[in-house]
């Protein structure tokens, strides 16, 4: 079974500052993938960043970086230089291996509000 935990229901951040969104996970798979998705108020799901369980380097995509600590089973998302357009709900997700049919399980999400 896979479980994703996001403990921060909502966060406020000042424009141009950095924000860290927490994510912890639990899985029996040795190989797995971790994802972050953004869901703006319009409702669509936007892929942000991916981290593989065997990747030694932390993933980065523009202003997004993933702080991956495998031993602690955490995969925190860092958004640098926040912009007003970053206001959205953010979901951490984990994709299991073939034995789990590559299912993607989601956390409950964190709402980020960027203040001007």
Partner 1 sequence: NAGVTQTPKFRILKIGQSMTLQCAQDMNHNYMYWYRQDPGMGLKLIYYSVGAGITDKGEVPNGYNVSRSTTEDFPLRLELAAPSQTSVYFCASSHGGIGTNEKLFFGSGTQLSVL
Region 45-104 residues binding partner 1, contact defined as CB under 8 A: 45, 47, 50, 52-53, 91, 95-98, 101-104
What is the rounded distance in angstroms from the CA atom of residue 51 to the CA atom of residue 73? 12
Distance from the first to the final alpha carbon of the chain: 41
What are residue 48's DSSP bridge partners? none
Write the interaction track for partner 1 spanning residues 9-48; mark x where CB under 8 A is met and - where it is not. ----------------------xxx-x-------xxx-x-
What's CA 64's distance to the chain center, in Å? 10
Which residue ranges make up the site for partner 1 (CB under 8 A)? Answer: 4, 6, 31-33, 35, 43-45, 47, 50, 52-53, 91, 95-98, 101-109, 111
């Amino acid at each position: 079974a896979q479980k994703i935990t996001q403990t921060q229901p909502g966060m406020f951040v000042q424009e141009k500052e950095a924000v860290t969104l927490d994510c912890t996970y639990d899985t029996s798979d040795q190989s797995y993938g971790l994802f972050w998705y953004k869901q703006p108020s319009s409702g669509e799901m936007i892929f942000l960043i991916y981290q593989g369980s065997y990747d030694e380097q932390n993933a980065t995509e523009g202003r997004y970086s993933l702080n991956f600590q495998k031993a602690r089973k955490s995969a925190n998302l860092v958004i640098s230089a926040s912009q007003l357009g970053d206001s959205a709900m953010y979901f951490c997700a984990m994709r299991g291996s073939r034995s789990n049919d590559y299912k993607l399980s989601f956390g409950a999400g964190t709402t980020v509000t960027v203040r001007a």
